[in-house]
Chain A
Amino acid sequence: MATGWTAEMADRKNFDAFYENTMPALFRALLVVTGDRELAADATAEALTRAWQQWGKLRNPRAWALKVADNHMRKWYQRVGNREMLTGVFDEDLDVTAEALTAAAPTAAEVDPDLLKAVADLPTQQRAVVAYRYLLGLRPWEVADALGIDRRTESEHHRRAMKTLRERIADWEGDAP
């Protein structure tokens, strides 16, 4: 009895630590990908709820939570009836505009408007790779697994995204007086 209680308390402590580390990062990453604050918040809550329900069985909770959030967002788009987006939110068709991302992340837009605009201009999958690597701190193979793509494809997306970001920011900052 005491052992079970102790184990539960240990689980709870571990989950609290995981929650503190993961929740803000996951929310921000999903915010960048979707450009929709409500959807990102909803998917984050859903992913962490399910993570707790499966706590103890998960080998990599952060990557697992991302996958759950990804599925949740896919289901959301499926639910709203957009048949063309059934293949997922990471299709090239679903692009977030700079205006939408600025509205969804006003503080980030204030801190670094050039970078935010450059990120918004990236294709969805490249944006997802950048967000999951740098905001969520996942490793390349974890990102590839979460997105359901090959590792080489993920690496190529990352290379192109970084190249584009560098060029855009260099252009804008070079133009600035």
Chain B
Amino acid sequence: VNDRQLGERLRRAFEAEQPPAVSAAEILQRAEATQSKGHHADMEDREVTQTHLRRPALIPTGEQRAPGAVAFDPEERQRRELEEARRSFAEIGTRVGSLFEPAQQREAWEGEHQEPAGPVKPALEAAPAGRRVPSWAVPAVLVLVCLLVGGGLGYLLHHPAAATAQPPVSTVIRTAPQIKEVAPSACLQTAQRADETIDLLVRNVRDRRLSSALKAYTEASQACRKQAPP
């Protein structure tokens, strides 16, 4: 038996299989209905990015249905969609619920929401446990990494010295006394003259002593300004 004969045999076997009883006119009506709703307005010859499973099926039910065609009325489709949506939410809830719920409640909830075995279920169960990474884990890790990197960069920007090699702490302590800030003598004298002047003012002395004290303070102050670094 060659490939062509085998293919012909396959074709013959499935030729008797009745397709859904949908006419071209019904397809055209459906296309117009979806276009009037604004769907597929920008549809190009590319990958499909939307599903339109909420639309009612065009396969007729009851007496209109051809023999062998599938019963697929809008109510059945809606029920099936609701079932699938509930299963999807249940799965998300199982994954996320562990953060908020006690383990016993979650197990009880899962027990109540056991799904009947469908064509999709075995593949879901057959998947190895190691591959099931929670959907929130990747964004959470990314946010954590961004926070750490941002914190590090902020620290380096505000403490540039930390980015370079630092001498040991003991060295810093030893060198600190060497950097001794000493006020110029003129400034010290200014402070002294100021004290004397205030003293005279407080004691309400308003004679030549106050005049000479103020003069001495002014001179000392000018000398201080000259000596002090800018």
Contact = CB atoms under 8 A, between A and B. Distances in A.
Tell me whether A and B are bound partners.
yes
Interface of A: 12, 15-16, 19-20, 23-24, 27-28, 31-32, 35-38, 41-42, 44-46, 48-50, 52-54, 57-58, 64, 68, 71-72, 75-77, 79-85, 93-94, 96, 100, 105-108, 110-112, 115-116, 119, 130, 133-135, 158, 162, 165-166, 169-170
A93 B14 contact: no
A64 B43 CA distance: 13
A79 B6 contact: no
B9 interface: yes
26 contacts: A15-B24, A19-B24, A20-B24, A23-B19, A23-B22, A27-B19, A31-B17, A41-B57, A42-B53, A42-B72, A52-B31, A53-B34, A72-B48, A75-B51, A77-B120, A79-B53, A80-B84, A81-B87, A81-B92, A105-B14, A110-B16, A130-B10, A158-B3, A165-B6, A166-B1, A169-B6
Contacts of A36: 119
Given A16-B24, A76-B53, A85-B120, A71 B10 contact: no
Contacts of A38: 70, 72, 80
Contacts of A24: 19
Contacts of B3: 158, 162
A158 B58 CA distance: 34
B32 to A, nearest CB: 9
B88 interface: yes
A115 B16 CA distance: 14
Given A38-B72, A112-B9, A112-B13, A53 B40 contact: yes
A135 B11 contact: yes
Interface of B: 1, 3, 6-20, 22, 24, 27-28, 30-31, 34-35, 40, 43-45, 47-48, 50-53, 57-59, 68-70, 72, 80, 84, 87-88, 91-92, 119-120, 123-124, 126-127, 131-132
A115 B9 contact: yes
Which of A15, A82, A115 gathers the greatest number of chain B CB atoms within 10 Å?
A82
A interface SS class: helix
Contacts of B35: 53
Nearest to A41: B20
Nearest to B47: A71
B12 A112 contact: yes
Contacts of A162: 3, 6
Nearest to B84: A80
A53 B10 contact: no
B121 to A, nearest CB: 8
Contacts of A135: 10-11, 14
Given A80-B87, A100-B119, A134 B16 contact: no
Nearest to B125: A84
A99 B18 CA distance: 19
A57 B84 contact: no
B70 A41 contact: yes
A174 to B, nearest CB: 13
Nearest to B20: A41
A169 B9 CA distance: 12
A45 B30 contact: yes
A93 B126 contact: yes
